[in-house]
Amino acid sequence: MPSPILPISSHPSSSASAATTVVKAKIDADPSATILISSKFDPEKAIPITPVLPRASSYNSTSNVNNNIVSFANNHQQRFLRTSSDSSLALLADETPRQSISREVGHVAAETFYLSGLCLKLLSYLGVGYRWITRFLALGCYAMLLMPGFIQVAFYYFFSRQVRRSIIYGEKPRNRLDLYLPKISQGTKPVVAFITGGAWIIGYKAWGSLLGQQLSERDIIVACIDYRNFPQGTISDMVEDASQGISFICNNISEYGGDPNRIYLMGQSAGAHIAACTLVNQAIKETGEGDSVSWSVSQIKAYLGLSGG
């Protein structure tokens, strides 16, 4: 059993006097422990002294103190977390939906302002001056001002009863056309065959919806012809599609209230170029021998090229 008395030293001190005798502990005691006893020691006059710091009791008491401290800290932390949770729930319960929305809006506004600042700094680092930034912002504002008009035209294109969309005029891909009819159907109407532009790449029949709306309100039928774009087709394919579309209009427009003797061909940008090439190609076919034609250049009363042709 370990000795209850803490060792004074594990080795004899070099400063001990010659009158001091080193006495080792018993075998069952700690072999590393030694006790210094003077040679003048009188056993009869010895006073028994209880060890002040016994090993076992010191260790147990220290462990108990540590356990008490840890337990107190845990209880205090749990009480603090419980109080914080209760207060947070109370705040959430007292928060109205309007306050929640305002808080979210404020957060979004702050984040937007922060990101805008970062974008401006990035543009300045890239060498983009404030003049270009102001022009870009002005262009964005201009687009936002035009947005209501675009929405109105798109609504008219998809939901108006005066629009006949995607009428098939040929067997090739995108051989479709849109018809814009006047509200008053009495009598025959003049017809405008319109070929939209788009750099021969992004041309589409819906680009002529605003023109169709404005002219149909003035008692004119508008036919917007769609055609294959590059790389789906070459210029020859585009001219072929436009020729088939014009042929359909010349031979079938009377069914929609149009006058086949008053047909006007119009094109814009790349569409003007395609329309002009179509007229030239059709005139060459008419002068050739043995070539069958489904429509004649003489049926076109006039040609109008906008920003091209």
Residue 106 lies in a domain: no
**Tokens 């036919």, residue?**
223
Last residue of a domain, one of 11, 36, 52: 52
The half-sphere exposure of 171 on its side-chain side, counting CA atoms within 13 A, is: 0
Residues 13-22: pLDDT tens digits?
444 444 444 4
pTM: 0.58
Residue 71 lies in a domain: no
Residue 102 lies in a domain: no
Band of pLDDT at residue 103, cut at 50, 70 and 90 = confident
User: Is 88 a residue whose pLDDT tops 70?
Assistant: no
Residue 145 lies in a domain: no
Same domain, residue pair 302 and 179: yes
Spatial contact of 198 and 273, defined as CB atoms under 8 Å apart = no
Residue 63 phi, psi (nearest 5)? -65, -40
Spatial contact of 152 and 214, defined as CB atoms under 8 Å apart = no
Residue 85 lies in a domain: no
Residue 300 lies in a domain: yes
Domain that holds residue 27: 1-52
Residue 99 lies in a domain: no
The total domain count for the chain is 2
Same domain, residue pair 171 and 289: yes
Q: What is the CATH number of the domain that holds 246?
A: 3.40.50.1820
Last residue of a domain, one of 33, 52, 71: 52
Residue 138 lies in a domain: no
Selected residue with higher pLDDT from 2 and 172: 172
- The total of other beta-carbon atoms located within 10 Å of residue 171's CB is 7
